[in-house]
Amino acid sequence: MTEVLPEDWLAAVEALKRDGFDYFDWLGCVDEIGRRECFRIVLVVRNLGGGAEPRMLSCSLPRDHPRIASVAAVFAGAAWHEREVSELFGVDFLGGERRRLLLSPDFEGTPLRKDEVLAARTGMDWPGAKEPGESDAVPGRRRMVPPGVPEPAVWGDRDSSQPAAEPAEVAESAVGGRVRRRRT
């Protein structure tokens, strides 16, 4: 995987296309919170005629203002992927399409960011089962917290006089599979 700077992103993609990697395969985003304070944009292109291995480009973007040039003018198929990343992670693709793709127009938030609290999961019991009906088959099974729900002491039941939790603290506590504690 080749790492490029955000300002060199578009030029690097254009260079790959000139080198015969003219088949767009995939573009996505990785939230690296907990390891680094950034998002990683990854692009995969292929040279179908040359038999070469796929090429992967990677670029790190700051969490506070993730912005990068759109490559949709180079690879038209990238437009859908950029819209998805923009909507779900909050990355701004400069010169790209801004219309919503997956979420309703009134939805607020970026649901695939690791520091985004999934409020719907905190509002309902998680059965602790992998298949429907499985939790009924095991009597007395403990209720498990769903993945993506932080500890109540970090988010939710937090004392309002305390300062808000840092995004890294929320992400670190949002580990599924722990037993739900009863409120007293």
Model confidence pLDDT, tens digit, residues 19-41? 999 999 999 999 998 889 999 99
User: Which residue ranges make up each domain of the chain?
Assistant: 2-94, 114-184
The reply to whether the predicted model has a pTM over 0.85 is no
Between residues 140 and 162, which one has the greater pLDDT? 162
Residue 88 has a pLDDT of: 95
CA-to-CA separations, 105 to 45, 70, 78, 108, in angstroms, rounded: 31, 22, 22, 8
Pick the CATH number of 2-94 from 3.30.460.80, 3.90.550.10, 3.40.50.12710, 2.70.70.10: 3.30.460.80
DSSP β-ladder status, 2-3 and 55-62: parallel
Residue 15 has a pLDDT of: 97
CA-to-CA separations, 90 to 7, 16, 76, 98, 113, in angstroms, rounded: 18, 26, 21, 11, 8
The string of pLDDT tens digits covering residues 117-150 is 766 666 666 555 555 555 554 555 556 666 667 7
Residue 60 confidence class, pLDDT cut points 50, 70, 90: very high
Q: For residue 25, which of 86, 80, 73 has the smallest C-alpha distance? A: 80
